[in-house]
Structure 1
């Protein structure tokens, strides 16, 4: 066991850094609190850059009728799917859990993904044309 040393922890040698109970609000509707160092209270929260919002495309009735109509999916089902995708940031396992099985047909996670991405691809193709 040559080369290994057990170094003792040197506790209590430095000054304690003060912490404060700070309010933060990721959205206007909610107000949360957490502990932050007092020297960091005016700095941007380090994980704020990771809080991104995914843009979900929006379609109108004419686009749906011309491009997106399906024999298997109704417009109400597609609208419900896109609403859930906006609310749950395209987390399809959660969307599958929150899917309204009383109103709409039972769909698998793969069915939900397939419909979402096929609608997005159809809209992207049409909107990308000059």
Structure 2
């Protein structure tokens, strides 16, 4: 996947989410069940499912490490907001949180001169 330096941050982010979906499905065998689910307090980038587990994935895409690696952009405040969004999503989709393991992951992507240079996948919760 390539990107130009003159692309908007939104288009870079969208490409990052596309790459992350491909990584989750092809490399990990997870099913992507939802994308860009909006709530009042923000958006869940990707909701994936693997037997017995829902994984909510925040995607961070950067063109450089000038401001740190992408996963570092997920602060404790952002994690708290994502947890609220996960509970909202679970209620809206009738997901019984006692029957499924629920995880929060971050996939950080770095695109260097338009080419995917690095994928970092980190489990935040539990």
Structure with more contact order per residue of length (Cα contacts < 8 Å, sep ≥ 6): 2
Name whichever structure is richer in strand by fraction: 2
TM-score normalised to structure 2 length: 0.29
Greater helix share, 1 or 2? 1
